[in-house]
Amino acid sequence: MKNASVEVMDKDVSLCSDVQVVRCGALPTIVAPGDKFTFTCNATFPVRFVRVVQRATSISHFGIGHVDVQGEGTIKPYRSYYKPSKNKKVSEPFQTTSAMTAGYCGIVFHQHHSCIDFSFSATAPTDENCLLTDKALSSHHVNDNSWTTYTITCL
């Protein structure tokens, strides 16, 4: 664990290039098994992601037994990552799956970093109501009243 540090971010660093990052602290150079560490972060922006990073010059691995993150909820939404387009459906999905909600479809979207847009329909006639695409949608969306397409935006 030596040379590891804790960082907080406002966006997913794998999806957006303009991520705000605050380094909260670093572990000491000597760490014994079972040691516990507490870091307090005073970010000036709402935090959505926490990561532990180990900067090393050689290949090394470390294990984390438990991470507990605490914070205060925001009063109003800070940023919107998706721009919804009602009555639109992606025309060339690279993956289709079933999802209970648009939020779960968004989680599937985040698991596939090659995605650009996704569509969800609560009333699709099949079990495939979550469509992911890696192509930028043009103005010739497939019109379908039961679908909403969500486009990611990194603001």
Over residues 121-137, the mean pLDDT reads 84
124: nearest Cα among 94, 97, 84, 95: 97
Q: With 50 as the cut, is the pLDDT of residue 129 above it?
A: yes
19: nearest Cα among 41, 50, 55: 50
**Cβ distance 104 to 51 under 8 Å?**
no
Predicted model pTM: 0.47
Q: What pLDDT, on the 0 to 100 scale, is given for residue 64?
A: 75
CATH class assigned to 82-152: alpha beta
Sequence ranges of the domains in the chain: 4-54, 82-152
